């Protein structure tokens, strides 16, 4: 493995920030994009690696790769449509650490030759798949890392659910990169929970007034969950405030019980909160508590497709615990911190625990099941 692949390994979600001036699907994105200024800004904002378009169809050239190499120490992915060993050699000389290989355009023999040449030159190959057939080919070729693209290169349409299915089915021992369609923290989070090590983000950055700020926003943690939602108008308030997750409590004993999981905007993840046994609710995630003495137990897990992806550290039912934050801080893996949170204490809790997500419900209400818009906005702002 080379510098590029190594930069994408390890805990937490990594980001490959892409510099491009235009795209065939969206047209001009940032015609004046200058790698000399963008590369350092994206590095400072948390990029683990940079993707540089070197193809004229994207307004790029090999000179952009050379420029980026001169101003950043980050690993560089050369992105284009490559089909010859000569091209791979040129990219190496220009400063690339990795090259993109599109299985849509290469048969297995061609891909194998290019991967071998890249390895001989000390380059990683990001082998890109768009469907299950191409994913199978990438696995058989021994590709690592593997890119899983949400964009159909024929229609240019985005299908993030299809991308997540590919991530689900890809081998966990490989480095997996979710490409295209990432424009909100919720998009990045769902890719992460599916098993992606990294996201590749281009268009969303190039369209933003400040690409570095947009990248930092996509990677920002903790995620913010507003729970106990029962009305569509409260879902809208939470979304407009910038919450990443919408929680719907389906347990019968809850005073803020929702009758169903309501639709949420594309910028949010829906979470069904259950007590006892899991059931199919149509939500993106399930927050599952045990049941004891006729109410929810303290412990809970966050599930995706029945698999635990985080631990929920909550307070006892209608109780308190002076060691609550200590318990959360001692919990390994992704932690969603819940219990008694609101604008007045969430910043201190985040500082003490550094959770993956924070969750508030009862203290954001005007009455049980009815949110106070001002309290919701204040909580989300404080959690940021």
Catalogue the active-site residues.
Answer: 18, 20, 79, 128, 149, 179-180
Burial 124-155 (b: 16+ CB within 10 A, else e): bbbbbbbbeebbebbbebebbbbbbbbbeeee
Enter the tokens of residue 315.
């307070």
Contact (Cβ atoms closer than 8 angstroms) between residue 360 and residue 201: no
Nearest CA among 101, 288, 264, 275 for reference residue 190: 264
Distance in angstroms (rounded) separating the CA atoms of residues 131 and 154: 13
Q: For the stretch 169-202, what's the b/e string if a residue is b when 16 or more beta carbons lie within 10 angstroms of its beta carbon? A: ebeeebbbbbbbbbbbbbbbbbbbbbbbbbbbbb
CA–CA distance, 219 with 47 (Å, rounded to integer):
9
Q: How far apart are CA 273 and CA 252, in angstroms?
A: 11
Task: Give Cβ neighbours of residue 373 (< 8 Å, ≥ 6 apart).
Answer: 237
- Decide if 115 contacts 101 (C-beta within 8 A): yes
Q: What is the maximum span of the chain, computed from C-alpha positions, in angstroms?
A: 70
Whole-angstrom Cα distance, residue 275 to residue 257?
Answer: 12
């Amino acid at each position: 493995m080379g510098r590029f692949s190594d930069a994408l390994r390890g805990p937490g979600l990594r980001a490959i920030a892409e510099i491009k001036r235009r795209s065939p699907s969206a047209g001009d994105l940032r015609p004046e994009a200058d790698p000399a200024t963008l590369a350092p800004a994206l590095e400072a904002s948390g990029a683990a690696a940079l993707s540089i378009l070197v193809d004229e169809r994207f307004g790029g050239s090999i000179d952009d790769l050379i420029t980026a190499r001169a101003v950043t120490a980050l690993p560089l992915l050369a992105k284009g449509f490559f089909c010859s060993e000569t091209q791979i050699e040129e990219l190496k000389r220009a400063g690339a650490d990795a090259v993109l290989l599109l299985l849509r355009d290469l048969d297995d023999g061609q891909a194998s030759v290019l991967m071998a040449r890249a390895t001989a030159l000390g380059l990683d190959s990001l082998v890109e798949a768009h469907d299950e057939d191409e994913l199978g080919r990438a696995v058989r070729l021994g590709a690592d890392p593997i890119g899983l693209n949400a964009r159909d290169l024929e229609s240019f349409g985005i299908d993030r659910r299809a991308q997540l299915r590919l991530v689900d089915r890809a081998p966990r021992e490989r480095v997996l990169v979710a490409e295209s369609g990432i424009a909100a923290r919720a998009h990045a989070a769902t890719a992460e929970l599916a098993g992606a090590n990294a996201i590749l983000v281009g268009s969303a950055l190039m369209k933003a007034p400040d690409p570095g700020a947009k990248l930092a926003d996509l990677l920002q943690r903790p995620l913010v969950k507003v729970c106990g939602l029962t009305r569509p108008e409260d879902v809208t308030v939470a979304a407009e405030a910038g919450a990443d997750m919408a929680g719907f409590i389906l347990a019968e004993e809850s005073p803020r019980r929702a009758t169903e999981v309501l639709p949420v905007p594309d910028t949010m993840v829906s979470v069904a909160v259950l007590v006892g046994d899991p059931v199919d609710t149509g939500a993106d995630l399930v927050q599952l508590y045990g049941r004891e003495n006729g109410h929810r137990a303290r412990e809970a897990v966050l599930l995706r497709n029945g698999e635990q992806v985080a631990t929920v550290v909550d307070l006892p039912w209608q109780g308190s615990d002076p060691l609550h934050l200590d318990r959360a801080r001692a919990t390994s893996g992704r932690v969603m911190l819940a219990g008694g949170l609101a604008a007045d204490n969430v910043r201190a809790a985040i500082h003490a625990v550094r959770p993956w997500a924070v969750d508030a419900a009862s203290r954001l209400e005007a009455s049980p099941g009815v949110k106070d818009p001002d309290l919701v906005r204040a909580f989300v702002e404080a959690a940021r």
